[in-house]
Amino acid sequence: MLALAGYLWDFTRSVLALLGAGALVWLFLRSLGQRGLGRSEGPVRVLQRVVLEPRKALYLVRAGDKTLLIGCADGAAPALIAELPEGASVPEASALPEPSTTPEIRS
Q: What is the CA radius of gyration of the chain?
A: 25
pLDDT at 22: 96
107: DSSP letter: -
Domain membership of residue 106 (yes or no) is no
Residue 15 belongs to what domain range?
A: 1-39
Domain membership of residue 31 (yes or no) is yes
Residues 22 and 54 grouped into a single domain:
no
pLDDT at 91: 60
Render pLDDT for 20-41 as a digit per residue (tens, 0 to 9): 999 999 999 888 877 766 666 6
Q: Higher model confidence: residue 16 or residue 100? A: 16
Residues 3 and 35 grouped into a single domain:
yes
Render pLDDT for 43-80 as a digit per residue (tens, 0 to 9): 888 888 999 988 899 999 888 888 899 999 988 899 99
Domain membership of residue 57 (yes or no) is yes
The structural domain count of the chain equals 2
Q: 101 pLDDT band (50/70/90 cuts)?
A: low
Domain membership of residue 105 (yes or no) is no
